[in-house]
Amino acid sequence: MPLVEVTYAPHVPEATLRDLGSVLPHLVSLAVRCPEEPYDGELRPGDVEIRFRALGPLDRSGLDVVIEVRSTYVESRAADRQERVDRLHTSISTTVALGDFGVHLSLPVAAWAQGDD
């Protein structure tokens, strides 16, 4: 399950952030799919968690938006991580008008548990 944090400058319109939030679950799922964690095109609760945070008065960033994606390390995913993040950046830029933005893909060794409620 990818965790996504979107940090944005105050001048980024809310409508743009809403557009981004609507496409990110699918685009991120495509970017991190692998044989160990396939993506069938059907998102379920908990598959992708997205958090939006406005830059604070002490934060420093030269970009309008920074998208940080964290997904569990698996060898097949790590082998081509730069290509994955490049494709994700291209997919986002052709779908949402963001201006200057960056995408960071992190693959930590991690575990996830979720109830079936």
% the chain with pLDDT above 90: 82
Domain assignment present for 16: yes
> pLDDT value at position 111?
73
The yes-or-no verdict on residue 58 having pLDDT over 70 is: yes
Q: What CATH number corresponds to the domain at position 89?
A: 3.30.429.10
Global confidence as pTM: 0.91
Residues spanned by the domain of 13? 3-106
| DSSP secondary structure, 20-75, as one string | HHHHHHHHHHHHH-BTTB---S---TTS-EEEEEE--TT---SSSEEEEEE----H
Sorting pLDDT into bands at 50, 70 and 90, what band is 102?
Answer: very high
Q: Looking at the domain assignment, is residue 19 inside a domain?
A: yes
Question: How many domains are contained in the chain?
Answer: 1
